[in-house]
Structure 1
Amino acid sequence: MSASTSRASMLNKFRRHPRVRIPTPIACELAWHDEQRWFGKSVHGPGVVYDLSLRGMRVSTEAPIKPGDQVSLLIRLPRQAAPAEIAVATVRWAKDQIYGLAFQRLSSTSHGRLRRYMTVFSKGIR
């Protein structure tokens, strides 16, 4: 285990909502919170989710977002028929094209989808 992996695992123990590192990156779609029209286009861009918790995620995207922006997301979780919809997430930090997003509002259905997915993979590397 590398020093950075060990440090990340140690820090994860102190999180209220532990993060799960995604074994295979997951696709998502981002849109400005005010322009949530998935089928009417207005999507800002695709993204790739690298880790996930019940309250946020780390995503890579070329979408023009910055800290403080509010976005809406569709996360296409493996083995689930419908995507998880995050109605509002706030961009907390940015480094290059990697962003930390904090979920502000999601439905109980989407929360359940995230929880089921995370339960399956929480046994892996965190």
Structure 2
Amino acid sequence: MYLKSLATITIDCVLSSVAPQYRADGCIYEMSGTDRRLRTPGSLKAGDLVRVRLWLPDDDTHVFIRLAEVRWVRNQWVGIDFITVDARERARLERYSEQQRKEPVSQPCEQILIRA
């Protein structure tokens, strides 16, 4: 079941806030072949594995989180823990966060809240 979820669920989102924690607005898609079907947060449950494409404001490319785990789902919000993020992608996210907060990042980003 998790392999199917990993292969088919992608969350596309745009970072909307970095303080006090990472928040984004986006959409949940189930991919099957060439077909993309929009899903609601209620279609996810804690423990599901997903991929996340996170766009930073005013940036043309996304930060790709190869593997993330759904921690909780409440109404339109989904709490996601990062499992696998490329070091270069993590550094981009941390640099952006430092620019927005105007201070060094004390801990690397490990989770995000997404409104879908």
User: Structure 2-normalised TM-score?
Assistant: 0.57
1:71 to 39, 47, 50: 50
Q: Distance in 2 between matches of 1:66 and 1:50?
A: 23
Structure 1 residue 93, shift from structure 2 partner = 1.3
Partner of 2:83: 104
Q: Determine what percentage of the aligned residue pairs are the same residue.
A: 25
Stretches of structure 1 that go unaligned for 5 or more consecutive residues are 1-31, 36-42
Stretches of structure 2 that go unaligned for 5 or more consecutive residues are 28-39, 104-116
Q: Does 1:91 align with 2:70?
A: yes
Task: Give the superposed CA RMSD.
Answer: 2.9
Structure 1 residue 83, shift from structure 2 partner = 0.7
Structure 1 residue 82, shift from structure 2 partner = 1.7
Q: Please tell me whether the aligned partners of residues 14 and 54 of structure 2 are also in contact (alpha carbons under 8 angstroms).
A: no
Partner of 1:15: none
Partner of 1:34: 7
User: Structure 1-normalised TM-score?
Assistant: 0.53
Question: SS at the partner of 1:91?
Answer: strand
Q: Distance in 2 between matches of 1:51 and 1:67?
A: 23
Bigger shift: residues 105-114 or 76-85: 76-85
- Pick closer, same or farther for the CA change 1:89–1:68 going to 2, 3 Å: same
Partner AA of 1:33 in structure 2: L
Partner AA of 2:53 in structure 1: L
